[in-house]
Structures are given as structure tokens and as C-alpha cells.
A and B are shown apart, each in its own frame.
Chain A
């Protein structure tokens, strides 16, 4: 198994991935045979109209779901067919989520929110605190650590979410419409932050429907009807 795994060089390797939702009378092919490689320190956008399967692909990459058929290797680890508990562990170690709606715990402070993934990683309280503080400093929120989400602006909330995504040193940052709930100026600031994180060596997968946002990445994968329509490098790079 380990020999076989070592043959997979890309950070993300997806082969013939299908996702079929059984809605009783109808079966919906949300993904209908997708092959993708994403390498370390790549900056990739996934685009496509609604219903194209981009959310499904993102959920599968984020290990929130498992494919109906096909293979998925994340950092040489076979994800397809893993147990619930194992998937949770991979999400914890390998993936940093940034959501459109921030998804912070409303009653917890910025610091506690950033500490949360480390709680599930089993870190000691002092270690958690230290690493969460570092992550918040890295996104420029040194003086907002004790604030609750409702005491922060939209941009600040998304920075907390980015810090939370970064704090476990994940293999990939998975950002789902990260600027969707922000005004253009704040959105631009968040994109600058993501660019910087990429430049520091992180791998980023961005799901967006905005062309302008997608132009921040090095590569755009366009989906249509559950299949890859195009996969090319962006012009700006």
C-alpha cells in the first residue's frame, strides 16, 4: 500500500471521480468522471455555473464527503472509502476551510475560534493559545483576539476564519467564495491576504464565480454538468 501510495506525486490526485445523489425517483450525477492533479503550492480556482458540480467537487476535496466511484489521494493518502472518524482527522490535519459566510462560532472569541481546530487535534491548552495567537498576528488581528465575531467587521471576521484555516498548518486552504459576503474593498484585502499566504508556500483551492477573483490564482478549472470543461493557466501569471 505504501509503495503504491508513493507513486502519487501530486498533493491532490483525483481519478475518474463520480458523485451520484440518489433522490429516490431520480439519480443526479453531480460529478460525472473528473480527473484533476493539484500540486503543492499551486493556487487553483474552480469555476462554473450553479449546478455544474463545483460545490460537490469542493466538498469531496475537503473530505466532507466521499466519492461514489473513483479515487482521491490527498498527500499520498487514499481518501475514498475512509470511515467518518478518519475523514474528520484528515479534515483536521490537512484542510483549512474558509467559507463565504465565515462560519465562526458566535459565542466564542476570535482566539477561541482559532483554537478550535487545535482542540480537535489534541493540542495542549498552552500550545493552542500560542499557535492561535501567532495565526491571528499573521492575519493582522493582534488587537482583536478577545472580541466576539459580532464585535468584528466582515473583513475582520474573514481574517479570523483565515487564521483558523492556517493554524493547523494544513496541506491545502480550501476557500469557498471567500469574498462573497464582503464589499469590494474588503474583498480585495482578503484576496491580498490569500496571495500572501500562497507566496509563503501554501496550496490554495479557491471556489468562485467571479472572474476577477479567479484571476488571483495561477490556474482555473472550469466545470460544466459535472465534467471539466477547461483547465488552464491564468493569463496574469
Chain B
């Protein structure tokens, strides 16, 4: 019965539904896109640092929502020699890598230039494993390479494709800032994250890096514990080792920072949380507008169908049954809009995520939430018109033209 009257006024019902459709599709789109981003970033963070890995950097890892830059007191830089100290004194640590970065470099081979956004890491032999970057062809940097500061490089997939299309790069020479390097390996292709290529990272020995670009840059130490069981104790051991190395007295605070993937994720989740809250705000406003639309259309419907209400009452329809009829109609109206919104929002989300190369997981809870929201809107805004209908006097309703 309720659906029939919707069908009888398709255009009007559709226009009323636009508000619900916008509200619901907004939330579904936002939630699906956010879900996709979160999934991708979680995944990336899990892989960015290898298993049971944490880092030591000069500054503390920042958590929470900060506006502007947080200033730090002066701190000594992290030096490559700390890696040796950690290796010597920390029994729970399996491997220590040291790395430092420079960006915005252009690789040149003959007359061919790569994109000017190449990132070059000076790293120890652990660099590949610690960063989950694997060799596709050739070989990695070895201990000997680091020891003798050889001019060798493992290049990312981007410079490989840009400089060595259709040929074997191994043993070829390239130039960076006029310095010549021999290509000894190529990393596996990694794709892109949030639209940024992950294949513009190349790796040279740390010693070579410091000889060419100076040894004033901060160094990150990437440390791998033997297992998840000793992950915490490895962190404690490293803190102790570094405090000894820096000659810190008991009671003096650490003047270096420990970075863990958990904290990175926590930080990210906090920030996306705000986006989620904003999405709910937008959605709430459009559902309010939608609700008013539904109330309006239901009031019109009650007036138009006064005669019908009179007939129903004469034939034995009680207030409750009339109330129920109009409420169900309002809920149906709202739910139909919700269903359209779910499909539309999901479609838009898939389109966006395909462009950005994310997965688009179906946010089941968001779908449930949308359905519940629509019911609440239907009941909330349909109640007054339905009460109006239920309270009509049958005699006057029957007389209504």
C-alpha cells in the first residue's frame, strides 16, 4: 500500500529523496574512501618497516594532532658509529642498519635524464630488508661495498625504466651530481601510495654517501629485534646503549627519539578520525534537510489523502493502523533514498579509489548505519504527519473534497 502511493507520485518522491540520497551517498563515499586509504596506509606502514623493526632518529616521534612545527631543543646528530655500539651491546637486536637520505636528484645516463625527484639513500647492508625493498635483478650492497665506499648503486624501478628501457642496466654507469656510479642492482617495482611513486628510491653505501654529500646529515638507525617477544627489551637495550654512548647521567632525559610503526599508525588514525567526524557532520546536515523534505511531502500526502483516511476509518481503520501506515510510508520513502544513496556512494567511492589505486572495501557498518539513520529520519520526520493523519475526524475526512 505504501509503495503504491510512492509509485503514484514518482517524480515528487524522487525529488524528496534527493536529500536522503545525497546524505547517505556522502557518508558511504567518505567511509569507503577513508577505509581504502586506511587499509593502504596500514598495509604500507606494516611493510615500510620490516618485521619487529623500530628506528632511532634525532627527534621524538610526534603523536597526535599538531598545528605548525614543533620546535626541539638542540640535539646531537645520530652518527653511524652508534650502529656498532648497538651491535656490540644489545643481545636482543638481530640487525642494525644506518641510513640517511637526500632527495630531488636527477640520474643521467649518456644524454638521458631521469625525473628530477630521485631519492638517494646511503645505507648499510640491512637497508633493503629494513625497508622491505627487495632486489629484482643484480645484487644488493654488500659489506665490502660499505667498507670500501664503492661507487655502486641499486636503483629503483622508475630510474630503471626511464634510463634503461630495453637493456640490461647491470654494470652500466650513471651520474648523480656529476658523480659516477655503477649500477649493481634494481629494486622490485612497488607501485604508488596516495599517488606518490614508491619506485624513485635508490640505495648506495652509507660510506659513499657521506663522502659525496657530507656527513652532517641526520642518520636513522633501523633496528630489528630477534622476535616479537624481545621487541620491547630490544628497545630498552638500545636506549641504554645510546645513553652510555652519549654519556647521559641518570635522570637526564633521552636526547634521541625511538620511532615505532604502532605510533605512526596511531598518529595516522587520529588524523583520519577527524575526517570521519567531518563526514558525519556533512551527512547529519543533509539528512536533516532530507528529513524536513520528507516531513513536507508527508504533510502534503496526508492533506491529499484526507478522503482516503476517512474511508479507511469508516471501514474500521484505527488511529494506530493509520499512524502505522503513514509512518511506514515515510520510512519506505527514506529507505528507498537510502538504498539509492548506498549504491551511488559506493559507486563513487569505487571510482575514486580505482583512480588512486586503493582497494574499496565495502564498509558494512556504514551500510547498516545508513539504513538505521534512514529509519530514524523516516520515523522522526514522519511522526508528526502520521499523527496528524491518525487524528483526523472520520466524518470531516469523508466530506473532504
Contact = CB atoms under 8 A, between A and B. Distances in A.
Interface of A: 59, 62, 64-65, 84-85, 88-89, 91-93, 97, 99, 103-105, 107-108, 116-117, 120-121, 164, 168
Contacts of A107: 4-5, 8
Contacts of A99: 398
Given A65-B395, A107-B4, A120-B321, A88 B308 contact: no
B201 to A, nearest CB: 68
Interface stretch (B153-161, B164-172, B309-317): B309-317
B311 A103 contact: yes
Contacts of A105: 308, 311
Given A105-B311, A107-B8, A120 B316 contact: yes
B320 A85 contact: yes
B19 interface: no
Contacts of B316: 88-89, 91-93, 117, 120-121, 168
A155 B318 CA distance: 29
Interface in B195-237: none
A104 B310 CA distance: 11
Interface in B1-23: 4-5, 8
Interface string B176-192: 00000000000000000
Nearest to B317: A120
Given A85-B320, A107-B4, A91 B398 contact: no
Given A64-B395, A99-B398, A107-B8, A116 B315 contact: yes
Contact of A97 (B5, B8, B315, B321): B315
B388 interface: no
B313 A88 contact: yes
B307 interface: yes
A92 B312 CA distance: 10
Interface string B359-398: 0000000000000000000000000000000000011001
A164 B394 CA distance: 18
Interface string B291-330: 0000000000000000110111111111111000000000
Given A64-B394, A65-B395, A107-B8, A84 B319 contact: yes
A117 B315 contact: yes
A42 B315 CA distance: 22
Contacts of B311: 103-105
Given A64-B394, A103-B398, A116-B312, A89 B318 contact: yes
By size class, the interface of chain B is 20 to 34
* Consensus secondary structure, chain A interface: helix
Contacts of A65: 395
Contacts of A108: 4
A85 B318 contact: yes
Nearest to B305: A105
Given A85-B320, A99-B398, A91 B314 contact: yes
A120 B319 contact: no
Given A85-B318, A88-B319, A120-B315, 14 more contacts: A64-B313, A64-B314, A64-B398, A84-B318, A85-B319, A85-B320, A88-B313, A89-B316, A92-B316, A117-B316, A120-B312, A120-B318, A120-B321, A168-B316
A168 B318 CA distance: 16
B120 to A, nearest CB: 75
Interface in B261-298: none
Contacts of B320: 85
A103 B135 CA distance: 83
29 contacts: A62-B314, A64-B313, A64-B314, A64-B395, A84-B318, A85-B320, A88-B313, A88-B316, A88-B317, A88-B318, A88-B319, A91-B314, A91-B316, A92-B315, A93-B316, A97-B315, A99-B398, A103-B311, A103-B314, A107-B4, A107-B5, A108-B4, A116-B312, A117-B316, A120-B312, A120-B315, A120-B321, A121-B316, A164-B315
B327 to A, nearest CB: 17
Nearest to A99: B398
Q: Which 3 A-B pairs have the closest CB atoms?
A: A92-B316, A120-B316, A88-B318
A186 B66 CA distance: 85
A82 to B, nearest CB: 12
Contacts of A89: 316, 318
Contacts of A104: 311
Name, among B316, B317, B319, B395, the residue most crowded by chain A CB atoms within 10 Å (CB to CB).
B316
A120 B4 CA distance: 18
A85 B317 CA distance: 9
Nearest to A105: B308
A97 B312 CA distance: 11
Interface string B75-107: 000000000000000000000000000000000
Contacts of B8: 107
A182 to B, nearest CB: 19
Nearest to B321: A120
B5 A103 contact: no
A98 to B, nearest CB: 11
B232 to A, nearest CB: 67
Nearest to B398: A103
B379 to A, nearest CB: 22
A100 B318 CA distance: 23
A88 B316 CA distance: 5
B4 to A, nearest CB: 6
Contacts of A168: 316
